[in-house]
Structure 1
Amino acid sequence: MRFSLLFLFFLLYSTVFAQVKLESEQDKDGNVTIYANNTEVIPYTLVVDFTTLMNLTSSGGRTVFAVANPGRSIVARLKKTNANQGSSYNYSTKLYKGSYLDKSKEEPVYLIPVQEGQKVRMQPMTHVENIYKKESENTSYVGTAFYLEESTTICAPRKGIVSDMKMDTQLKGAGLSFDASDNFIEIYHEDGTFTKLMVLESGSEKVKIGDVVYPGQALATSSGEKYNSGRHVRMVQSRLNKVEREIKFEQIPVKLFDGEKEISSNQTVNELIASHPENLISKEMSKKELKRLESK
């Protein structure tokens, strides 16, 4: 019985998401520490909004922005104000995939995500509203598409960790413009950016969730035969941003290397040849990874 009472005293309660579990612990002085247990392979951003703070002061204010890295980390600390009075608290939580804090020191350059030497045509995608709402003219950037003459290997455009994938959909019909159920592989980069590659052949994946991938590494095989635009691969980069007191998810254009120069993914280019220069492949590698590359 004594063990149970102590357990209840120190573990006040927990909040559970599919990816992150929050636990609260109280010390002998009545101070509270809130922890996040992240079982995923990438960080998550948490917004904790304290709706009640009675006789407690939050180190981060009423609204706390925190990043839960894989494993256990501290989200917030609550200090008891008056040792002779009781205390209580309550909060609501929002969870976002990725870290809003991670940034690049310099703007990264991405490879064209196909095997080296492959010729492609690049064109920014149109917003889905423009497909289903004929009167809509939404010009927001939503990614770019690389059109292919033949089936080809799709490669990682940057170093990162495979954070999500779905590769078991076999599309039906023909003349498609968009299908939300299509296959994809998602990569999380160390600067908090995601790359999502879509329109992939079912069952063709060469990686799994949790794998670290490098620029030019084979990921899967292209598809697109069911689309009215033919064979292609779609690529979208996105990241979290803190705007005032909110976290927002935005899709962003990126720099690409075409073998000779850098171009923006929001441009239309009729012909590009994919190139995988060693300086870009090794750009984000650790010393250990570089040694392994040099030994090959």
Structure 2
Amino acid sequence: MKIRLLLFIFSFVLLSHSLYSQQHTRGVLFTSERNNKGEIIIVAENRDFCDYFVKIEFRDLMDYTVRGNITKGETVSRGKKIIATLTKSNPNSRSTYNYSTRIYKGSLDSKVNPDFIYTLPVKDGDSIQSLPAKGSRFTTIFNLEQAGDTIYACRGGQVCDKDLTDTETRSASQKNSITIYHNDGSLGEYTNYSKELVSVGDNVKMGQPIAIVKPNEKGQKRVRFSVYFLDKNRVENNETGLKHSSLVPIFHSANNGDGKLENKTTYIAQITEELLMQDMSKKELKKYLKNKEKEADKK
């Protein structure tokens, strides 16, 4: 009986550890390898579809000189990037190295635009209300009782992998969440839906359907939305635990124009040309305006 109990406990511990590891996979993988000069290069591989800011700290370094931006940190986009190169000072002496890493979703190279105008997460012409979120003035709860069951992207961007996390638990997404990385380095997170309509890595446009929401046991249709970004001041402050900051988005509506939402006020969704052009690159905008001129000439 004792043997069976011990086997059960051992199996449970292994399963729990396996599940924990699967749910807490870091978005950036660090590896060490040698180049053709015999130097050790430390490579950061970003496996996600959003940028990560990485910092490396050497705790045990003997007989090596280090090249790399290790004091300030680096932004790593999807793919591999060399973070540090270690060269032996004396080829005949004993040498060791040991390091720790910290990674944070987002980029310090991008300038977040607090004046960006977001669209409401419902179909054009549908009505929606904003409700207060307990414990956070930065999270918007949308009441969809007067709208359909489809959630639309408030802003364009690329869908991140919610199974990949960073050093900070703030950005470890919930299982039922969609995180979209915006072109200014901010992230928009949607939670409380029942079905996803987008996949990891998808390039999402503003106003594109991204999820389906179903009424809960009380018959309520609600979705949470928040916007956050990697804060340079917090990253550079070693005494600060959380490195991300949140902001209150500005939304556009047909009946109230542009502004921050007020609780229990009804807003009518409207996607305008000006809203859509905010997300376009210079190349996309030039192409869009050129096509618009062609269409106007045809008329």
**The two structures share one fold, judged by TM-score above 0.5:** yes
Spell out, residue by residue over 1:150-207, the C-alpha distance to the aligned partner (whole angstroms, 9 max, x if none). Answer: 43321111110111469xxxxxxxxxxxxx977332211122211111221x33x322
Contact 1:46 1:68 survives alignment (8 Å): yes
More strand by share: 1
Q: CA deviation at 1:83?
A: 6.3
State the one-letter code of the partner of 1:284. D
Contact 2:162 2:175 in 1 (8 A): no
**CA-CA distance at 1:118 after TM superposition:** 1.1
Name the count of aligned residue pairs.
251
Which residue number in structure 1 is paired with residue 141 of structure 2?
A: 145
Correspondence for 2:179: 186
Does 1:264 pair with 2:260?
yes
1:56 aligns with 2:47: no
Structure 1: where are the runs of 5+ without partners? Answer: 1-16, 128-139, 167-179
1:275 is paired with a residue whose SS is coil
After TM superposition, list the pairs within 5 Å mapping 1:6-45 onto structure 2: 18-27=26-35, 31-45=39-53
- Relative to structure 1, the CA distance from residue 124 to residue 291 in structure 2 (aligned partners, 3 Å threshold; closer, same or farther) is farther
The one-letter amino acid paired with 1:233 is V
Query: Under a length normalisation based on structure 1, what TM-score does the superposition of the two structures give?
Result: 0.72
Check 1:112–1:52 CA distance in 2 against 1; reply closer, same or farther (3 A cut).
same
Rounded to whole Å, the distance in 1 between the matches of 2:114 and 2:137 is 21
Question: 2:48·2:161 contact (CA, 8 Å) conserved in 1?
Answer: no
> For the residues of structure 2 that align with 1:32 and 1:217, how far apart are their CA atoms?
46
**Aligned residue among 209, 233, 253 for 2:223:** 233
SS in 1 for 2:129: strand
Call closer, same or farther: CA 1:61–1:195 in 2, change over 3 Å. Answer: closer
Aligned residue number for residue 73 of structure 1: 81
Q: Distance in 1 between matches of 2:178 and 2:36?
A: 47
* Structure 1 residues 158 and 98: alpha-carbon distance in aligned structure 2, compared to 1, 3 A threshold: same
Structure-2 change in CA distance of 1:94 and 1:190 (3 Å): same
Percent of matched pairs sharing the same residue = 32
CA distance in 1, matches of 2:286, 2:116: 18
Structure (1 or 2) with the greater helix fraction: 2
Are 2:55 and 2:70, in contact at CA under 8 Å, matched by a contact in 1?
no
> 1:1-296 to 2 correspondence within 5 Å?
18-27=26-35, 31-59=39-67, 63=71, 65-81=73-89, 85-104=93-112, 107-127=115-135, 140-150=136-146, 151-164=148-161, 183-200=176-193, 202-203=194-195, 205-226=196-217, 230-242=220-232, 243=234, 244-246=236-238, 248-259=243-254, 260-265=256-261, 267-286=262-281, 287-288=283-284, 291=287, 294=291
SS of the counterpart of 1:220? strand
CA RMSD of aligned residues (A): 3.1
Shift of 1:102: 2.2
State the SS of the aligned residue for 2:274.
Answer: helix
Indicate conservation of the 8 Å contact 1:29/1:83, yes or no: no
1:289/1:274 CA distance change after superposition, 3 Å = same
Please give the secondary structure, in 2, of the residue aligned with 1:282: helix
Partner Cα separation in structure 2 for residue 69 and residue 142 of structure 1:
27
Distance (Å, rounded) in 2 between the aligned partners of 1:149 and 1:28: 63
